[in-house]
Structure 1
Amino acid sequence: MNAEELLDLARKQHAQIVTAESCTGGLIAGALTDVPGSSDVVDRGFVTYSNRSKKQMLGVMSSTLMRYGAVSEQVAQEMADGALLRSDASLAIAVTGIAGPGGSDNKPEGRVCFGLAFTGRNTFTETVEFGAIGRAQVRQATVEHALKLLTEALSTT
Structure 2
Amino acid sequence: MASSSSSSRSYSEFSVFLSFTGETRTSFSDHLYTSLQEAGVLTFRDKEGIREGNDISDESKQAIEGSEISIVVFSKNYAQSICCLDELVKMVECKQKLGQKILPIFYHVTPSEVRKHTGEFGIALDQYIEQFGEETVNVWKAALTTVADLNGWHIMEDG
* TM-score, with structure 1 as normaliser: 0.33
Higher strand share: 1
Higher helix share: 2
